[in-house]
Chain A
Amino acid sequence: MTAPLLQVEGLVKHYRLPRERLLAPPPVVRALEGVDFTLAAGRSLGVVGESGSGKSTLARLVMALEAPTAGQVLLDGQDLHALAPAALRAARDKLQMVFQDPYGSLDPRRTVLQTVAEPLRVLHGAGAAEQRERAAQVLQAVGLGQEALAKYPHEFSGGQRQRIAIARALITRPQLIVADEPVSALDVSVQAQVLNLMQDLQQQFGLAFLFISHDLAVVDMVCDEVIVLYQGRIVERGAPAQLFRQAAHPYTRALLAAVPRMQPGLRRSAPPVAPPLAATPAAEGCAFLPRCRFADARCARERPLLRDLQPGGAHAAACHAAETVTAMPQNV
């Protein structure tokens, strides 16, 4: 078996906030508390969770835009955070990012050519002719014509802008694209076009996606594997078919139960989950405990670790009651 394209090991990120009082230690936000996963070339890994779960922090660390407090991000076996600046720039060819808001992520004062070709210019010092040729190629790949090159972002709709953002990510011929909520700012009819495009490009170029989304239905459709983050830790991991049909963690169940169904008149009784608490839960014990209806004394004492529920490790959950939860029927 070959080494995975992306391997994340024990990733921790704490942010220190400004001191509130002179002598008290500064408060710390624990955005990531030890995350491990691997992603093979050409595959898609979905990352889901509520706001504050650490999804976007994970994206920034994988992109080497920020340094982790601890842990490693290995791309093709190289630890991105241990590389010298020049070597890191060279490695950036292999990983690119697509952001959520195509209105904010494109510079309004630059032409599409300047925007799309920038990675080539910055990372390779490519000449004007090469920039133009490669930019035209990637624009064609995302379904835009050559005439787009000389235009500015305001001349395009939201869906077209997101295509331009994808073209910019493709131009270095990356192996991994980190997509942080790539379709959540788009209208439904346009969202479908962009999702289809991303799947086509994955096949065509053998891309791997780290696909961050709050929309479970989108992740279900485009990902080979999904991790569910809760307060900086992975609480469940598995193939979408398994994870969304027979979720083993109460938090995953709660997320699924909250998705509005397309059945008029269907009203579900009893809120599926208690609201998230502002207070940080006890250091030991399960972080989900205050919202969990399966919790018992053990959950308060001992934090559940991510453990395999099946031989082969295809499905894992961090819950003492995972077997009980899995056995419960689930309506999807």
Chain B
Amino acid sequence: MSTLLEVTDLRVTLRTARGPADALRGVSFAMQRGDTVGLIGESGCGKSITALALMGLLPDGAQVAGSIRFGGQELTTLDEDALCALRGGRIGMIFQEPMTALNPLHTIGRQIAEPLRLHKGLSAAAARAEALRLLQRVQLPQAEKRLDAYPHQMSGGQRQRVVIAIALACGPDLLIADEPTTALDVTIQREVLDLIAELVAEDGMGLLLISHDLGVMAETVQRMLVMYGGTVVESGPTAEVFRHLAHPYTRGLFAARPQLGLPRGTRLATIPGRVPDLADLPAGCPFADRCSRVIDDCRRALPAPVAVGPDHAARCIRLDTAEAQRA
């Protein structure tokens, strides 16, 4: 089976008021159909920029280097028309905020039918029939009545189901979900994640899930990439990453997350300092200024990925001391 998506040394430079910002500094990963991959990190780490680069939706003036191959086709050099044919067709996207992702002036039936008419050339009647089938598939109650409803008549969870139906309309090979449940209540989050997992398993598409929540990652994806300062600092099978927490940042992220069952008054371990500004990233390891194990060499150059286990690597030159500290 050929690789569905192969990202190689992807670099993105954004033009900002404060000068060029290296939003991505060499991101590489690959996925097959049926793979579920998670991108996790905090604001400004580059996870959403990665998704936008895949969709060809980077802001004006962004410079892209490296390669994105999707189904054997190079996307970085594709023109806008060809990208339009891919977006909503072979690549579906679920956004964070369903209220802004949907057009308030159009019925949801029309919004689901739009990609079907555009990409598949269905007639209005056929597209409407297909839209109904999709709404039933995302388990929206009373789907038939809802076709003519407007987004404001629905709850947040229902709207997100509609957004998922639109993303799935043309049977994409790759589904990109950018924080799909962040705006939702925890009970609704559970349902939406279950729905996405179910649909991905049924259709065998690839899922790229972007989230800041370790719990969401743990339950939804097989592989995860931990991003920080525009690079992937750790990548591997989710279970392995959770077991080893090889990179100091991954470990910090774990320790800082409140978990049920901590006694009253527990002090969380914090990561000192703040997330670096992409406009002035240090030359070396982006985490150096916040890391307890930093040595001079860390600041010299961006560490290369070091193998931690099979298919599991971390960009850290101090992994040996990390292991020692754990023991």
Contact = CB atoms under 8 A, between A and B. Distances in A.
B262 interface: yes
A206 B155 CA distance: 40
B256 A220 contact: no
Contacts of A224: 264
Contact of A221 (B42, B254, B262): B262
B281 to A, nearest CB: 15
B310 interface: no
B61 interface: no
B219 interface: yes
A28 interface: no
A223 interface: yes
A217 interface: yes
A220 B265 CA distance: 9
B189 to A, nearest CB: 7
Nearest to A271: B191
Contacts, number: 145
Q: How large is the interface on B (under 10, 10 to 19, 20 to 34, 35 or more residues)?
A: 35 or more
Given A187-B43, A196-B270, A214-B185, A266 B260 contact: no
B275 interface: yes
A189 interface: yes
A262 B259 contact: yes
Given A50-B185, A51-B156, A187-B42, A265 B239 contact: yes
B50 interface: no
A118 interface: no
Given A191-B256, A220-B258, A240 B219 contact: no
Contacts of A41: none
B157 to A, nearest CB: 6
B267 A196 contact: yes
A199 B256 contact: no
Contacts of A262: 214-215, 218, 242, 254, 257, 259
Contact of B215 (A157, A192, A259): A259
A157 B268 contact: no
Contacts of A109: none
Contacts of B258: 191-192, 195, 215, 217-218, 220-221
B190 A266 contact: no
A308 B75 CA distance: 63
B65 to A, nearest CB: 28
B84 to A, nearest CB: 33
A250 B149 CA distance: 32
B144 interface: no
Interface string B224-254: 0000000000000011001000000000111
A189 B253 contact: yes
B318 interface: no
B188 interface: yes
B187 A264 contact: no
A190 interface: yes
Q: Which of B218, B258, B262 has the most CB of A within 10 A?
A: B258
Contacts of A51: 156, 185
Interface string B185-212: 1111111011001000000000000001
A115 B264 CA distance: 32
B261 interface: yes
A267 B256 contact: no
A264 B256 contact: no
Contacts of B141: 275
A306 interface: no
10 contacts: A159-B274, A189-B256, A191-B256, A217-B258, A220-B261, A259-B215, A260-B190, A263-B219, A266-B218, A275-B157
Enumerate the 9 nearest inter-chain pairs by beta-carbon distance, A residue then B residue, closest first.
A260-B215, A192-B256, A192-B268, A187-B42, A258-B190, A189-B271, A217-B258, A264-B239, A264-B238
